[in-house]
Structure 1
């Protein structure tokens, strides 16, 4: 019989590259959101689920709030603003810098507008001396009355128990929303597509990976356990197609090799992965194409 008696729905928000997805993955205990050192890695809202003790934590990892330059960017920013208003508590993730930028100011204003309980998580504390952290804490404490300010290192797992303890204060009595063994609401096809996109973000330079989308065209589970996956990588320019494929197909092979290894860990079985590259010019500003790729621009 389930021990879950409370749930806490939590929005994890912040500007790009502050470690929101790393934090979500670390709390859940396994990878549910892709990560890279490039901004705007997360494009849609990712749900991570953690069941601990009597509480089920539903973590909504959101895209980084940024100045949009395309219809896709508008869509991503709308997800952030919508998510802030529909949860039990918001966790604002920031870097340990004694400066509040426009994205942080905007998110704090939205939190105040919706009278949303909020916790500040100062991430990457392993990158600076402890005494410098005090200035960051003082600055944010003056900017807004947070329910708690928790210094953390999502990468190293420091401060995460304290963060969950604070989140638990806002859990609501009621039935659990997801089965206890569930860690995400994303279907396996979507996770596989995101894994391919993650490898492009890590292996490709400049603007190329930001103009890509991935569609799973075929998914066949054979009787011997092998899963056959065929995926299309879409890019915006013919010149980008050549970069993704690489000299004699070397880059595409490396993307496939790394993606397949992650998929086999996720699916716990052997995977045969086939990748194709196609050009869809200007898809990030095309409402029809965005919807085809799962970005519902409503």
Structure 2
């Protein structure tokens, strides 16, 4: 390792659905955090690792800060505050297609109050959704909010994770702002997430698509068992995965299963494709749905589900 090697931790913050998980995946170069059009999709801190010759950046994807209505929501917010106080750099995601509002200002002012202040970078995300004029006026607003709150942006970078615009600039800026330090993870490692957690998240991502209203927040996934199928030829392995999709009410169970099981089959097919890619081997996915009444509000259930 050469002198001047930089390493450290950065996280993206922002309101729910500001593009944090998509940006994390693009920077890491592989899908490690699930993304969805549903707010509050991210439920735990996922670490993505970017290793280069000149440094190592550990990206922590956090849940979106929101006004909690359940014990789960409160625990997710606590996780966000805990992460902020431990990182070197915070990238504040301010999507170009939305006005900077009280929620954004609240997040920035809370970070500014920390005794161990991280360096702040403004990321004007989702540039692919707006015109050049809108982008410029958004950047003016980004500058104005720093002045209003008495903070300083180390960098302001317009970018789009979906279109791949200015992603190298984001990666360079975050790495350059890190202190000198050791390599924390072996070269080639892209996340420290257990495989089981990644599989559960891919199933939950598939289950989130096409559901409305309160249901997205009521869905959790538990992996019951992962077993290599015996008596398979070495060049054609098959892994059996048994998983439970957890919901809060009987009526929600019906929605997930769908008419004659059609919806559950669809979830299984979508998730299986992603899990095959993740594991690099074929999988047989067996899903069933169970009800844990009001689990988001029950400390015993939350602990059991790993929150």
TM-score between the two structures when normalised by the length of structure 2: 0.92
Question: 2:94 aligns to what?
Answer: 94
8 Å Cα contact 2:8-2:181 kept in structure 1:
no
The reply to whether residue 258 of structure 1 matches residue 270 of structure 2 is yes
Distance 1:97 1:108 in 2: 19
Question: 1:74 aligns to what?
Answer: 74
Question: 1:10 aligns to what?
Answer: 10
Q: CA RMSD in A?
A: 1.6
8 Å Cα contact 1:197-1:209 kept in structure 2:
no
Match of 1:116 among 111, 115, 118: 118
8 Å Cα contact 1:8-1:167 kept in structure 2:
no
The reply to whether residue 202 of structure 1 matches residue 209 of structure 2 is yes
Instruction: Quote the offset at 1:207 in angstroms.
Output: 1.8
8 Å Cα contact 2:38-2:216 kept in structure 1:
no
User: Structure 2 vs 1, CA of residues 219 and 2 (structure 1 numbering), >3 Å: closer, same or farther?
Assistant: farther
Question: 1:171 aligns to what?
Answer: 178
SS in 2 for 1:140: helix
Distance 1:232 1:99 in 2: 39
Instruction: Quote the offset at 1:205 in angstroms.
Output: 2.4
8 Å Cα contact 1:283-1:289 kept in structure 2:
yes
Question: 2:149 aligns to what?
Answer: none
User: Structure 2 vs 1, CA of residues 133 and 244 (structure 1 numbering), >3 Å: closer, same or farther?
Assistant: same
Distance 2:2 2:34 in 1: 30
Q: Deviations over 1:255-288 (max 9, x none)?
A: 0111111100000001011001111001001111
Comparing 276-285 with 123-132, greater Cα deviation is found at: 123-132
Distance 1:277 1:146 in 2: 46
User: Structure 2 vs 1, CA of residues 265 and 4 (structure 1 numbering), >3 Å: closer, same or farther?
Assistant: farther
Question: 1:292 aligns to what?
Answer: 304
8 Å Cα contact 1:63-1:80 kept in structure 2:
yes
Q: Where does 1:32-181 land on structure 2 (aligned, <5 Å)? A: 32-97=32-97, 99-114=99-114, 115-144=117-146, 145-181=152-188
Which segments of 5 or more consecutive residues in structure 2 lack a partner in the other structure?
A: 147-151
Instruction: Quote the offset at 1:131 in angstroms.
Output: 1.7
Distance 1:287 1:169 in 2: 41
SS in 2 for 1:230: strand
How many corresponding residue pairs? 295
Instruction: Quote the offset at 1:4 in angstroms.
Output: 9.5
Q: Deviations over 1:227-258 (max 9, x none)?
A: 11100111000000011111111111110111
Q: Deviations over 1:123-161 (max 9, x none)?
A: 111111112222211122122121111000011111111
8 Å Cα contact 2:97-2:126 kept in structure 1:
no
